[in-house]
Structure 1
């Protein structure tokens, strides 16, 4: 893992919700995961079965992670072992967002959202 220090003078987060994380310090693994159903309707009607994630394949299909086949070379030279930031200001974090200050070795983030629009047919309008 990288051996650099992170220095932040001030952090201001107004709102962090729905499993969002603020982490200060080094980490080995970061996994962020969020899933949501977003339903938009013309009428305020609840059918009782909308909250079943297994009903929608988007939540169970594997995400293809293609291997990197290109040859890469990396050379770094850190003249200073410290990353300095004056202020981090965030208005809002939501749905498993992560604010991480420090070194990380493995990071994996995933968000799956199913948007549903339920609109009237012309003969259904009242």
Structure 2
């Protein structure tokens, strides 16, 4: 880890909802790599077929993701004045797909969420 491990203390934590591939983590973490693929179809008339949702039919799920440019390494010295990370009362409404709430240090995060939304409206009617 880049920083010396510290103790994480959270007085209280209330999370209403976590999405797919999401997490709540208290403490130090080396790597976090959540991945989620979402396929959502909204229909004006709710009809469901059993053979829908083949992700291979949509390039969004297989095309390579752009990568961030890696800047030259930065040398730094960190001095933590306290060996404890303290959080009081924390309330989280929602943690979305492939994301996290963390109290502590993390070395590396590689997060990926791919979402395909399809809306099927009746022909002849203007969208609402």
The answer for unaligned runs of 5 or more in structure 2 is none
**TM-score, length of structure 2 as denominator length:** 0.76
Q: Deviation at 1:109?
A: 0.9
Q: Deviation at 1:72?
A: 5.2
Secondary structure of residue in 1 paired with 2:17: strand
Calculate the aligned-residue CA RMSD, in Å: 2.5
The answer for unaligned runs of 5 or more in structure 1 is none
In structure 2, how many angstroms separate the alpha carbons of the residues matched to 1:66 and 1:110? 13
Deviations 1:46-82 (A, max 9, x none): 2443211111000000101142346856564433343
Structure number with greater CO (CA < 8 Å, separation at least 6) is: 1
- Equivalent of 1:9 in 11, 20, 23: 11
Hey, what does 1:114 align to over in structure 2?
116
- The runs of 4+ residues in structure 1 deviating greater than 6 Å are none
**Larger relative strand fraction:** 1
Hey, what does 1:40 align to over in structure 2?
42
Residues 97 and 25 from structure 1, CA distance in 2 versus in 1: closer, same or farther, beyond 3 angstroms?
same
In structure 1, how many angstroms separate the alpha carbons of the residues matched to 2:50 and 2:41? 13
Aligned residue pairs total 123
In structure 2, how many angstroms separate the alpha carbons of the residues matched to 1:63 and 1:115? 18
Residue 21 (str. 1) matches residue 36 (str. 2): no
**TM-score, length of structure 1 as denominator length:** 0.78
